[in-house]
Amino acid sequence: MKKKATIVSFEGIDGCGKSTQAKQFVRYLKSKGFKTLFFKEPGTTALGKKLRKILLAKKQDILPLSELFLYLAARNELVTKKIKPCLNKKVILVFDRFIDSTIAYQGYGRGISLNLIENMHSVILNGIIPDITFVIDAPASELRKVIGKDADRLEKSIKFQEMVRRGYLKIAENEPKRVKIIKRGSINETFQSIQKLWQEFFE
């Protein structure tokens, strides 16, 4: 059975402003009368929130493969308990991070096998992928001042973030129909670009 729900995800390196844009997008959809649900990864579920604290702790030292499996555990909880029950409803599911974060961060950033990530995703997702993904793009060096002293464990290395950024660009290159790169501007400029792409997609 073809799903009725529409899945939209927001992606990008730390400090790019994707969370701001995702929340603004939800407000925009609701103002247009769309039934909308918002999900944050990792998070949303009880286990996801606990894992988020572990994963983003500043003094935490987690091996890359362990990190991957923690993220995937959170995703399995979210997909099974929250997403699958919504798929046959006329609703727009908006994600602040989803599957592409794992590919970009753990795959391109941490160097974990992309085939391993793909195989694990195939088990967890069972074909569930975003219909459209907005990647807010900016060089990591430009965002360091945005992150500042509040950097968590994943935000400390400009070199790492730039590797992640290149991962996102590669994902978009491989899936241009689904993944849309949006150059980071002001909040309003960026959102106008998102609106335009959304309207083209939705029509």
pLDDT in tens, 35-82: 999 999 988 888 888 988 888 777 678 899 999 999 999 999 999 999
Question: Among candidates 71, 85, 182, which has minimal Cα distance to 128?
Answer: 85
How confident is the model at residue 203, as a pLDDT?
75
Tokens of residue 172, six digits? 């978009």
Domain ranges (residues) in the chain: 6-202
Has 15 been labeled as part of a binding site?
A: yes
127 annotated to a ligand binding site: no
123 neighbors 79 (Cβ within 8 angstroms): no
Domain at 6-202, CATH from 3.40.50.300, 3.40.50.10260, 3.40.50.620, 2.60.40.10:
3.40.50.300
pLDDT tens-place string over residues 76-112: 999 999 999 999 999 999 999 999 999 999 999 999 9
The response to whether 12 counts as a known ligand-binding position is: yes
Residue 18 annotated in ligand binding: yes
109 CB-side CA count, 13 A: 28
Q: CA 19 to CA 96: how far, in whole Å?
A: 6
Nearest 5°: CA angle at 48, between 47 and 53?
A: 100
What is the C-alpha radius of gyration for the chain, rounded to an integer number of angstroms? 16
The answer to the question of whether 152 is labelled as a binding residue is no
- In this prediction the pTM is 0.90
16: annotated binding-site residue?
A: yes
